[in-house]
Amino acid sequence: MPILYQRTALFLLAHCIPISAVMLAMPGLLSMAGQDTELASMVQLFIMYVLPGVFLEALSRPLSRILVAQRLAAPLMAISMIEVPLNMAINYLLVIHLDLQYLGAAISLSLAAALDLLLMVAYIVGSGRSSSLLAMPSRRAFRGWWNLVRLSYPACFMKCAESWAFTIMTLAASFLPNPQVAVAAVGLAYNVYGVLFISFVAFSMAACVQVRFDRFRSRGSALPRPMPPT
């Protein structure tokens, strides 16, 4: 299991490098496309503050998926319950109280990713499961990447198709006469959509898990057991 986490984390971190390069190049591309100079400068600052969260997500996402695969969903729910009020407080502090506005939102995204990773590692260490999930780096983590490619790339492109549609809408809004207001309105609409959509995602994930467990039972197979604490 530690090798699986290391392999997945390294695989994601390797992809964070070209993704970061594209993100850092976006302000220049916007300027070349004739976008407002002030807007391109705002995009550059936002990207600089949100980039750390990209790399932190590459470490936290595979860890959360491994915990779910080990049927340790309750700790993740508890972590989410802790994160929600803390993230709200951090956003209020940075965006409103300190008046950092959009930069405060970018910083809060990176802080949320750091908090998520920190709480998961704290749970793993505190529960005595560190030896079964975390270990010293191994060269074996650099093997078996082709299996990750075969599984992750199709799912990635399917997920990106939806996100790219909203990105294109945001980019199109930046060509309107008042780009700051238009981009803000599209961003607000996207967040409202996310809030309304997430409940259906939760139901679909729960249904998929239930169907998976029912298939195990119908075949007489043993359900996967969580790693015992050491």
Please give the Cα distance from 169 to 184 (Å, whole number): 12
Residues 153 and 167 in one domain: yes
Please report whether residue 123 resides in a domain. Answer: yes
User: How many structural domains are present in the chain?
Assistant: 2
From residue 20, give the alpha-carbon distance in Å to each of 47, 50, 168, 184, 198: 9, 10, 19, 23, 27
Residues 38 and 105 in one domain: yes
Residues 34 and 52 in one domain: yes
Is there a contact between 12 and 65 (Cβ–Cβ < 8 Å)? Answer: no
Residues 122 and 156 in one domain: no
Please report whether residue 229 resides in a domain. Answer: no
Please report whether residue 228 resides in a domain. Answer: no
pLDDT at position 133: 67
Please give the Cα distance from 41 to 31 (Å, whole number): 9
Residues 103 and 135 in one domain: yes
- Of 110, 125, 140, which residue sits at a domain end? 140
- Of 140, 155, 173, which residue sits at a domain end? 140
Q: What sign results for the dihedral spanned by CA atoms 161, 164, 168, 170?
A: positive
Residues 133 and 155 in one domain: no
Please give the Cα distance from 215 to 36 (Å, whole number): 55
Please report whether residue 109 resides in a domain. Answer: yes
Residues 127 and 165 in one domain: no
Considering the entire predicted model, what is its pTM? 0.73
Residues 171 and 108 in one domain: no
Is there a contact between 30 and 43 (Cβ–Cβ < 8 Å)? Answer: yes
Please report whether residue 230 resides in a domain. Answer: no
Encoded tokens for 95 = 């965006």
Residues 168 and 91 in one domain: no
Residues 47 and 109 in one domain: yes
- pLDDT tens sequence for the chain (230 residues): 577 888 888 899 999 999 899 888 888 887 787 777 777 788 888 999 999 999 999 999 888 888 877 777 788 889 989 998 999 999 999 999 998 888 998 999 999 999 999 999 999 888 887 766 666 667 777 788 888 888 888 888 887 887 788 778 887 887 888 877 888 888 788 778 777 877 777 777 677 666 655 665 665 555 455 545 54
Helix (H) or strand (E) holding 25: helix 2-32
Please report whether residue 130 resides in a domain. Answer: yes
Residues 117 and 203 in one domain: no
- Of 96, 120, 140, which residue sits at a domain end? 140
Residues 122 and 186 in one domain: no
The whole domain housing 178 covers 144-223
Please give the Cα distance from 145 to 2 (Å, whole number): 15
Please give the Cα distance from 93 to 81 (Å, whole number): 19
Collapse the DSSP code of 220 into the 3-class scheme (helix H, G, I; strand E, B; otherwise coil) and give the result.
coil
